[in-house]
Amino acid sequence: MFVKSNVVVLALILSTCASPVPEEAGTRIDFQKRNALTTEDGWFDHAAAVRQVKYDKNKHRGNLIAVQRNIGLEAFNEGATILPYAGDTSSNDDSSHAKRQSVSLTDQENDSYWSGALSIGTPGKSFVIDFDTGSADLWVPSANCTSSTCSKKNKYSSASSSTSMPRPGNFTIVYGDNSTVSGPIFADTVTVAGIKATKQSFSPVTTLSPSFGSEARDGILGLGYPALSQLGTPYFFTAKAQGAIKIGVFGFKLAKTKSSLYIGGTDMSAYNGSIEYHPVSRQVYWQIGNANLVISNTTVASNLSTIIDSGTTIIYGPPSQVKTFYRKIPGSKLYDSANGFYSYPCSSVPSNVAFNWGGKNWSISATNFNIGKASSTQCIGAIAAQDLGLGSNVWLLGDSFMKNVYTAFSVDQNAVGFATLR
């Protein structure tokens, strides 16, 4: 059944191994934080999770608007639809307000992203950045953002950079909380781990959603394909085109300790063995097809299309397939139908939850599958049911999956690969 994809996989593995240049030729930046929708005592932070679902839906809604403008939705996935904006109206009952306030400190400490440093301008101004393979634009706060949301942020000032250039147009993206991140467009030198891209388009934003105010990150760097971008060529593609990167590969290690992004190859000290590559089906997202979802030695869904998104905390799948998946876990039940969360008995952790793309089964550990207790006996699973408008059969694999593997993203081969974490 997967003969065809295996051939491609093997060819990719071989061509990687045969490469005269070692994979380890780039540089690494370390991330500071790990994600969690879990409170300090192990409970599921429902209010934070609901906010996260809205954020994820709106992020991908914004992506699809860009895709429609760039290449048309019909050139993307079958069944892709721009869904209505996921606002925060009806679900705001009093109890969720109460929870929201009581967890705000936790949110600050346990943010749902991984951040590292990047600099913009000449001389370089440093920013704390969320590196997101599920979007393609770079934005940071502008010195002209005078709202309290920007007060504790690092800010970009065009007057302080000799290489700053204004560009025509504006940038806008709506995340959660019904608020917009927007600003003008500039080009400047962007440096990540010593790798410079000059004349890189980005947005110094003058409007920043209040939900970002309490977070440690200043902005986001998108590592997706140009078709996903509002601003043109994304950083990694610019750096590759300008020759600043020889090997068009970057690798993610997301773990409790020593998380990092490696640019210009993969960090061979972070994984064992070879990387199992799979071809990107459409150069928009880091999307690979022919996936199977496995639980307890049974394949519960096959021929899935998967998007690997470091900017998403958990895993989202089409509601009917997610329902079928949880049916395999005795004692599991729908916990929150509006947001697609399921619970399962904490004492009977589902065994061997894995995704495979015709090769090895890449398992999700019991620890990574559990995103917190919902009661003294039930825990919430990292797989949630959600239609994000990305197309039929499409799954979004976020950090809950990526934490289990080393992930390589190859622009040279248009492939995503996985390897065993060391």
Residues 199-258 that bind ligand NAG (CB under 6 A): 204
Among 6, 65, 83, 88, binds ligand NAG (CB under 6 A): 88
> In the stretch 68-87, what mask flags binding to ligand NAG with x, by CB under 6 A?
-------------------x
Closest of 85, 186, 77, 62 to residue 134, by C-alpha: 62
Closest of 61, 114, 307 to residue 221, by C-alpha: 114
- When the beta carbons of 152 and 422 are compared against ligand NAG, the nearer one is 422
CB of residue 98 vs ligand NAG: minimum separation in angstroms?
Answer: 18
399 included as an active-site residue: no
Chain center to CA of 103: 23
Closest of 276, 125, 95 to residue 202, by C-alpha: 125
The Cα 234–Cα 220 span in angstroms is 12
Stretch that binds ligand NAG, among 57-65, 154-162, 188-196, 223-231 (CB under 6 A): 154-162
The Cα 399–Cα 255 span in angstroms is 9
Which pair of tokens denotes residue 278? 């799979």
132 included as an active-site residue: yes
Does residue 169 belong to the site contacting ligand NAG (CB under 6 A)?
yes
- When the beta carbons of 70 and 393 are compared against ligand NAG, the nearer one is 393
Chain center to CA of 144: 28
Does residue 30 belong to the site contacting ligand NAG (CB under 6 A)?
no
Number of CB atoms found within 10 A of residue 232's CB? 18
CB of residue 302 vs ligand NAG: minimum separation in angstroms?
Answer: 8
Note the residue count of the chain: 422
The Cα 108–Cα 311 span in angstroms is 17
Among 158, 242, 274, 339, binds ligand NAG (CB under 6 A): 158
- Catalytic residue selected from 132, 188, 267, 399: 132
Stretch that binds ligand NAG, among 105-113, 131-139, 325-333, 342-350 (CB under 6 A): 105-113
Among 268, 361, 387, 412, binds ligand NAG (CB under 6 A): 361
Does residue 299 belong to the site contacting ligand NAG (CB under 6 A)?
yes
| DSSP structural state of residue 147 | S
Cα–Cα distances (Å) from 9 to 14, 74, 223, 265, 331, in that order, read 9, 27, 23, 18, 37
- When the beta carbons of 193 and 294 are compared against ligand NAG, the nearer one is 294
Quick check: helix, strand or coil at residue 138? Answer: strand
Which pair of tokens denotes residue 27? 């540089």
Query: What is the contact surface with ligand NAG in residues (CB under 6 A)?
Result: 36, 38-40, 87-89, 106, 109-110, 142-144, 156-159, 169-170, 178, 204, 272, 294, 296-299, 303, 351, 356, 360-361, 393, 420, 422
Cite the active site residues.
Answer: 132, 309
